Structure 1
Amino acid sequence: MDDGTQSAGHERLKVLVIDDNKAHAEGLAELLSLSGFEASCVLTGEEGVEVARNLGVDAVLLDMNLPDINGFEVCRRLRRDPRTSSIAVVFHTAQGSVPGARHPGDAFLSYPVAMKEVYATIRKAVKRRRETMGRIIP
């Protein structure tokens, strides 16, 4: 089921899925793994921030509605911490985006969405984040 992410010269990116729906989180992580990503998942925002700090992930696929802190707060905490500020944050939700809403993430996906679009969005967000961080940090 590999979509060519590794064979097309792409590195194996580490992605952390943060979603309170266990079946959804595990399913996303499995699909990401089957498509050439190194993926893991957690079910709360607090755990997600902690795992992101310790795991050295390239991207976070972040649900908006979590049982402890919302996705915007998770993203803000990741951005404020030098250990996690370079992580690309891709929001995903079934509630849809609010037109004109500002958020500190790198991308926003509203479900339903094709998995190929999820993979491409993660890769683009990581690339953009690295380019941006490269200009900020010598």
Structure 2
Amino acid sequence: MALAIVLAFLSVAATFIFHYRVLLWLGANTQRFNLQTQAQVLVIVIVLFLAHIVEIGFYAMVYSWSVSSLEIGVFKGAPVGSAMNYLYYSGVIYTTLGLGDIQPIGHIRFITAMEALNGFFLITWSASFTFLAMGRLWPWVSECSGSKDKQ
């Protein structure tokens, strides 16, 4: 159990640090691309999407390692043996979709629970960052505020 707890918290820390670094990079560099403001928003969305894919892939590797090498749990239900199946499972958990066609058994359940919380937090963080970027970059935001109607 202790191994699963340590592995889960190390995974959360690694993905938080990675995501933080991606957000710092985006905040510092998107304006340097000399793109139109709407295109800058598109770059932000694409990079954040790719960051989430990397984080899902990281958890997929953690699951594979946890099952094959550390033996802290197994998966029941739909077969989970290939990299794509681990990636699928991780994506379902990270996005908190939770289809239930694959069930974790053993201490690996704790890692699954922490990935769900972590994914929810990181997706929300990305949405907040995108919202703030759009408020700064998107030209129609001032038009939607109704400030012209009050003149």
| TM-score, normalised with respect to structure 1 | 0.27
Structure holding more helix per residue: 2
Highest RCO, 1 vs 2 (Cα 8 Å, sep ≥ 6): 2
